[in-house]
Structure 1
Amino acid sequence: MAKGRLTAEDVANMSNITTLEGQKLPVNVTDQGVFVGNAMITMADINASNGVIHVIDTVLIPPEKPQQKDIIETATDAGNFTTLLAAINATNLTDTLKGKGPFTVFAPTDEAFAALPNGTIEALLNDTSALKKILLYHVAKGRLTAEDVANMSNITTLEGQKLPVNVTDQGVFVGNATITMVDINASNGVIHVIDTVLIPPKKQSQENKILCSGKAPLRIQFLDRNARHTDWYWDFGDGKASRSQNPSHVYNTPGKYPVKLTVKMSGHYTKIVAGYIVVR
């Protein structure tokens, strides 16, 4: 069965028909007649008040839907997440990401891991506690589609901290990483491919210096004058971010906001913890 009143002529001009079961029924026109699936239409256009009937000579059996694979299996089949999967295995997170979920994974490619400074991967594999924190910073609860992500200002990760989202003309950024491929569905979640390994910011201590304070609304002009920096990512601490070198930002709500800057220098990203903005 399909929605709509499809005449024999309509059917013959279609390559497939979406059935109420949800799958597509292929149509094939030959010298012998019109076939839907492996059945030939033997009588057509029997009209009824609420539709039309076409008689066929064979009972149609819907093909079994292929079983969808979980996040780990899907990433394995993709072939470009070897380092990520090794890190997941080293931190005993494989069973977690094969579990019920659902999860949203921002997955760095092998190229993203290769861009880290020399020795970083080896050092992390020897410090599984730090590596686990990094990996959990790439995972969120729920099945967040690309559209969902683009409509969010930040995402709470399983590591516990918020991952800022920034939508620009260049694309959608999570932290300082660009999402390069979206909505790779798995049975227990969804994968979005990113081009940079995300490093969770260090938890801020009260010892960090206060950069500025004032009453809300408080407008701050941030500056980075280092000529060696070629890319910037300012995290303003309130869920907003900017990729400008010297952005201006307004704090509208009283609070203490940790400001962090990530810069690209000599081909690598380096995180700089700037300090706090206090808004009264």
Structure 2
Amino acid sequence: MAMHHARRTATLAAAAFTLPLMLSWAAPAHADAHSADPYGPACASVPKEGPGSLEGMAKEPVATAASNNPALSTLVTAVKQAGLVDTLNNAKEITVFAPTNEAFAKIPKADLDKILADKEQLTKILTYHVVGEKITPQQLDSGSFKTLQGGNLTTAASGDTYTVNGAAKIVCGDVQTANGTVNVIDTVLTPM
């Protein structure tokens, strides 16, 4: 009886040691490439401390977190203009592709002013930048996602660079907020 118990204990101990090794072997090598920290060249310009820092943004819902980041002030103005602050702050597990101020600056001023003055068109454009699920960097490798606007956007990876709809580059990705993920992009997306 003691011999049987000793063998069973040894077998359980071996299984307990082997299982984690098998799970780590079975996990895709790419799984943790960017998941631990935000990535991209623009992440270096995020404040190191305070409400606009990565740590500060993680404590706030997405619209509030964006309002603390100076590089997203045009987006925040547009979100307020469209009346979407509460919608974004109260949503659960969303992903926002957030155009920078420079992305909005690519749009001729007269056109941008026209868009900002048309709440219906502005809402369509902004909700096209929001996906109703939390997207991981691995899903961005080759993904297609339905937006809150109702259209689809696609993502692809080329080396360490991710693009959205073949045009916008993610310049600071996988930024966590209290209710979702933000991927900062360099071009405003147009609903298809």
Query: Shorter-chain TM-score: which interval?
Result: 0.5 to 0.7
Greater percentage in strand: 1
The residue number in structure 2 matching 1:90 is 81
Residue 194 of structure 1 is matched in structure 2 by 185
Q: Looking at both structures, which has the greater relative contact order when contacts are Cα pairs under 8 Å and sequence separation is at least 6?
A: 2
Using the size of structure 2 for normalisation, the TM-score is: 0.66
1:193 aligned partner, one-letter code: V
Structure 1: unaligned runs, 5 residues or longer: 1-64, 202-280
2:163 aligned residue (173, 181, 186):
173
Report the counterpart of residue 133 of structure 1 in structure 2.
124
Q: Given the alignment of the two structures, is residue 101 of structure 1 paired with residue 92 of structure 2, yes or no?
A: yes
Match of 1:75 in 2: 66
Mapped to 2, the partners of 1:180 and 1:159 lie a distance apart of: 23
Q: TM-score, normalised by structure 1?
A: 0.46
Give the letter aligned to residue 197 of structure 1.
V
Conservation of the 8 A alpha-carbon contact between 2:128 and 2:190? yes
% of aligned pairs identical? 34
Q: How many residues align?
A: 136
Distance 1:98 1:77 in 2: 14
Q: Which amino acid aligns with 2:113?
A: E
Distance 1:79 1:102 in 2: 24
Given that 2:131 and 2:146 are in contact with CA atoms closer than 8 Å, whether structure 1 keeps it comes out as: yes
Distance 2:108 2:114 in 1: 11
Deviations 1:192-236 (A, max 9, x none): 0000000112xxxxxxxxxxxxxxxxxxxxxxxxxxxxxxxxxxx
The CA distance in 2 between the partners of 1:97 and 1:150, in whole Å, is: 25
> What are the Cα deviations for residues 100-120 of structure 1, in whole angstroms up to 9, with x where unaligned?
412100000001001112312
Shift of 1:125: 1.2
Find the counterpart in structure 2 of residue 62 from structure 1.
none
Distance in 2 (CA, whole Å) between partners of 1:120 and 1:83 is 14
Contact 2:72 2:99 in 1 (8 A): yes
Distance 1:128 1:107 in 2: 18
State the structure with more CA Rg.
Answer: 1
CA distance in 2, matches of 1:77, 1:91: 19
Instruction: Show structure 2 runs of 5+ residues with no match.
Output: 1-54
1 CA distance for matches of 2:77 and 2:136? 25
- Which has the larger share of helix? 2
